[in-house]
Amino acid sequence: MNYIEELGVKAKACKGELANASTGQKNDALLEIAHILRRCMPKIIEANKLDLENAVRRNMTTSLQDRLRLDEKRIEGIACACEKLTALEDPIGEIISGSVRPNGMRITKVRVPMGVVGIIYEARPNVTVDAAALCLKSGNAVILRGGKEAFNSNKILCDLMRQAVQTAGFSPDIIQLVENTDRAIATQMMQANGYIDVLIPRGGAQLIKAVVQNATVPVIETGTGNCHVYVDSTASVDMAVDIVDNGKTQRPSVCNAVETCLVHRDIAEDFLPKLKARLDEHNVEIRGCELTRMILGAENVTPADEDDYATEFGDYILAVRVVDGLADALEHIAKYSTGHSECVVTESLYVAEEFQSRVDSACVYVNCSTRFTDGEEFGLGAEVGISTQKLHARGPMGLKELTTTKFLINGSGQIRS
């Protein structure tokens, strides 16, 4: 029996108690988690400090260090997210549909937990708590495998959560952390059939690709975010500047940050200088097409190539292209988008409706920032990831996306002829 199978055995042994727990019991455990996170803030920050020091030694980019960092404000936000989950409706036991057959059988379709959820993610320790809390409320045991960059942070967070759920009356093994960061262990998770019911990768393109290509257990593919904003000819320039700036600079390392801005030719000369002036405040590098370079000055814009338009930068870099109109923008998005989040800024109802109808992404915005693609912002509580696939779950994955269904059939002696 390998390392992951040992964790899987423990998870399977306790998943039933969680699956059948009452909403009150699960909420009590979430409140205990929130309480212990607040009480142990200094310990968490001290552990996170070790990870940040290692990140500096490894020359991790500033934006990735930001994703790794935990401070009092962020820990308080994580604790609040746990509390907010207690206010959300428990999906388990929800009756989705029902019918009575001509022979008198009553058939009811109800919502039930997945069972054991495996989550592989990178250097974002907040995911450790978000994922565990969502799995807890949705009745699932969870096995967490974070990146080595956040190991000390993940370890203290997981240890504290295990204490909290035990205080609330559950086995601590409903939440387990993979403490061996060897890549071979990740492969074991991908192939832990019979132990892990569903595997969710959350991270960069390479991680997700590796999981999708190597997994034999079912996978819900969360997506990389090559997100676009198209500024239409009718757009309010000031609104467009605000939306692109927010999408790029508010937190550039996350998957819902804007990576490419497409600008209608008719508004480009007015819009682009104002956008550049705003982005200059954050030292954003612009990589643009020839017309963008003509408008802004060749010395101010790096020439953009195919790779730039296909890249999720996760940094203070923005690709820009001037397009002839909506059709050109839609063609560009269809070619380069990862199916995550796209936005159009426009005052035209026709353009807005066409954009939302024709763009094939999980989240399609009109006149608001792509940074809202988030479980909490959508009212789902914390999220376990943003799904860009089309089976079972798409977009921010909250409680219901961590469930499946089963049919309950009640009869009175019916047999099939």
Domain ranges of the chain: 3-222+397-410, 227-372
pLDDT at 206 over 90: no
Secondary structure of residue 235 in the 3-state scheme: coil
Closest CA to 322 of 260, 243, 367: 260
Asked whether the beta carbons of 156 and 47 are under 8 A apart, the reply is yes
Secondary structure of residue 142 in the 3-state scheme: strand
Q: What are phi and psi of 342, to 5 degrees?
A: -135, 155
- Which range, of 154-168, 183-197, 200-214, averages the lowest pLDDT? 200-214
Strands (E), 187-297: 198-202, 227-231, 258-264, 285-288
pLDDT at 205 over 80: no
**What pLDDT score does 129 carry?**
96
pTM for this prediction: 0.84
Closest CA to 319 of 373, 244, 208: 244
CA distances (Å), 17 to each of 132, 255, 278, 406, in order? 16, 35, 54, 18
Confidence band, pLDDT 50/70/90 cuts, at residue 391: confident
Residue 17 is which amino acid?
E
Say yes or no: domain 227-372 is CATH 3.50.50.60: no
Largest CA distance in the chain: 82
* Tens-digit pLDDT profile for residues 313-356: 989 999 999 999 999 999 999 999 999 999 999 999 999 999 99
C-alpha atoms less than 13 angstroms from C-alpha of 29 in its C-beta half-sphere? 27
Closest CA to 277 of 305, 232, 238: 238
Confidence band, pLDDT 50/70/90 cuts, at residue 158: very high
Structure tokens at 336: 């380069």
CA–CA gap between residue 383 and residue 389 (Å, rounded)? 16
CA–CA gap between residue 93 and residue 338 (Å, rounded)? 34
CA–CA gap between residue 304 and residue 287 (Å, rounded)? 5
* Tens-digit pLDDT profile for residues 252-277: 988 899 999 999 999 999 999 999 99
State mean pLDDT over 168-194: 94
Say yes or no: domain 3-222+397-410 is CATH 3.20.20.120: no
* Tens-digit pLDDT profile for residues 68-103: 999 999 999 999 999 999 999 999 999 999 999 999
Asked whether the beta carbons of 112 and 379 are under 8 A apart, the reply is no
**What pLDDT score does 222 carry?**
81
Give the CA dihedral 391, 392, 397, 403, nearest 10 degrees: -150
Asked whether the beta carbons of 165 and 33 are under 8 A apart, the reply is yes
CA–CA gap between residue 27 and residue 294 (Å, rounded)? 58
Closest CA to 373 of 261, 226, 238: 226
